[in-house]
Amino acid sequence: MTTEFSVLNAQEQKAVVTLCILAAFADGAQSETERAEIKRIVDNFGNGEFDLTSAYQQALSGKLSLQEAGKAIQSTNGKAMAYEMAVCICHVDGASNPLNPAEQQFLETLRQALGLDQQTAANFQKEAGSIASAPMAEPPMINAPNVPNGRDAELDKLIVNRAILAGALELMPQTLATMAIVPIQTRLVYQIGANYGYKLDTGHAKEFLATIGIGLTSQVVEGYLSRLAGNLTRHFAGRLVAGLVSQATESAVAFASTYAIGQTAKSYYASGRTLSATQLRDVFASMLGQGRNLKTQYASEIAQRVSQFKPSDLLQVVKAA
């Protein structure tokens, strides 16, 4: 199957967007918050080629079915890309691997509609599932008792490193690279909490991300919509992270959002988990702006990290994060 994004015509693009939306709701388990976040992303994203809000409404109302969307994609790369994106969206929360029956049925119906080889599709599903559900290693404990604010300084380094990694992943052409950002962000929250003495799990980390306005599924949907538009326009119009970021490259958003997640987690656990949901969102908004300003400073490090990656490295990159 394809390993990178390619230019699609307007009809194919609309069909891929429709399939992304259908994949996001395939398991029927999305919360109202996540549904609202996906709708907001769609409402605020456009490239002049077509009305994404209309695509969203048609997808959820059943006016444009999975089979119809699949038939609208004629190019070989477009078919493979649509399937890969749908697989990644279904897998992103890592809640079940293999997927639940509803998601499995959705992907099988999509595979048939696109006319893709069964074994090739199964192999890609396996790879996506491995990345999404990769076990977390015990986080390294930072010990700097003789350095003023030593732990904070070391955690700041960790946060910047993970932000650089996220920015680099979003520049990679592989569809799996965008999905890999989510487990890296989840692990960052886990690592920061552990260094403040809190024994966490992935469930807690995901709840933390949801509290500050980062939905797992919506974040990946947003990443794919941006990359689709980027291949036509080379810039991004109206893209939002929690309603705060627009006209930014996907790499800048990935860097800034990861940086903001880390800094917000640091504030939360340093406070003894006393910050309210409103306070956390305020901190995140502030740190997101700071992260956007910092991205230029680390552009060379992001480019260098990209040059070091190979497509086969993604699982190991996630495990090592």
**What share of the chain in percent tops pLDDT 90?**
33
**What share of the chain in percent tops pLDDT 70?**
81
CATH of the domain at 118: 1.10.3680
- Residues 64 and 163 grouped into a single domain: no
Confidence of residue 53 (pLDDT cuts 50, 70, 90): confident
pLDDT of residue 36: 74
Domain membership flag for residue 2: no
Q: Given a cut of 80, is residue 22 above it in pLDDT?
A: yes
Q: Please say which residue of 98, 132, 166 terminates a domain.
A: 132
| C-alpha span between 251 and 53 (Å, rounded) | 24
Q: In which domain, by residue range, is 38 found?
A: 10-132
Domain membership flag for residue 299: yes
Beta strands in 79-231 (DSSP E): none
- Give the tens place of pLDDT for each residue, 278-299: 999 999 999 999 998 898 899 8
pLDDT of residue 51: 67
> Cβ(83)–Cβ(15) under 8 Å?
no
Angle at 30 between CA 36 and CA 137, to 5 degrees: 115
pLDDT of residue 276: 95
> Cβ(245)–Cβ(288) under 8 Å?
yes
| C-alpha span between 66 and 59 (Å, rounded) | 8
Domain membership flag for residue 140: no
pLDDT of residue 232: 42
> Cβ(45)–Cβ(52) under 8 Å?
yes
- Residues 316 and 196 grouped into a single domain: yes
Structure tokens at 33: 């918050």
Q: Given a cut of 80, is residue 41 above it in pLDDT?
A: no
| C-alpha span between 245 and 312 (Å, rounded) | 31
Domain count, the chain: 2
Q: Please say which residue of 71, 104, 132 terminates a domain.
A: 132
> Cβ(291)–Cβ(259) under 8 Å?
yes
- Residues 240 and 173 grouped into a single domain: yes
- Give the tens place of pLDDT for each residue, 75-97: 998 899 999 999 998 988 776 66
Structure tokens at 101: 């029956």
Domain membership flag for residue 76: yes
- Residues 87 and 208 grouped into a single domain: no
pLDDT of residue 258: 95
Domain membership flag for residue 287: yes
| C-alpha span between 223 and 246 (Å, rounded) | 13
- Residues 246 and 192 grouped into a single domain: yes
| C-alpha span between 69 and 15 (Å, rounded) | 5
Q: Given a cut of 70, is residue 305 above it in pLDDT?
A: yes
Domain membership flag for residue 289: yes
Domain membership flag for residue 169: yes
pLDDT of residue 272: 94
pLDDT of residue 40: 74
- Residues 51 and 93 grouped into a single domain: yes
Domain membership flag for residue 316: yes
| C-alpha span between 27 and 182 (Å, rounded) | 19
First to last CA, the chain: 27
- Give the tens place of pLDDT for each residue, 250-262: 567 889 999 999 9
Q: For the packed helices 175-195 and 202-211, what is the interaxial angle rounded to 10 degrees?
A: 100
Mean pLDDT of the chain: 81
> Cβ(86)–Cβ(110) under 8 Å?
yes
- Residues 177 and 266 grouped into a single domain: yes
> Cβ(275)–Cβ(251) under 8 Å?
no
- Residues 65 and 179 grouped into a single domain: no
Q: Is 293 exposed, middle or buried (0-12, 13-18, 19+ CB in 10 A)?
A: exposed
Q: Please say which residue of 74, 104, 132 terminates a domain.
A: 132
- Residues 117 and 154 grouped into a single domain: no
| C-alpha span between 176 and 182 (Å, rounded) | 11
| C-alpha span between 62 and 81 (Å, rounded) | 22
- Residues 112 and 177 grouped into a single domain: no
Structure tokens at 212: 């500050």
- Residues 74 and 207 grouped into a single domain: no
- Give the tens place of pLDDT for each residue, 172-231: 878 888 899 999 999 999 999 988 888 887 788 888 998 998 888 888 888 887 777 665
Query: Is 49 in a helix, a strand, or coil?
Result: coil
- Residues 112 and 171 grouped into a single domain: no
Rounded to 10 degrees, the C-alpha dihedral 197/159/283/145 comes to: 40
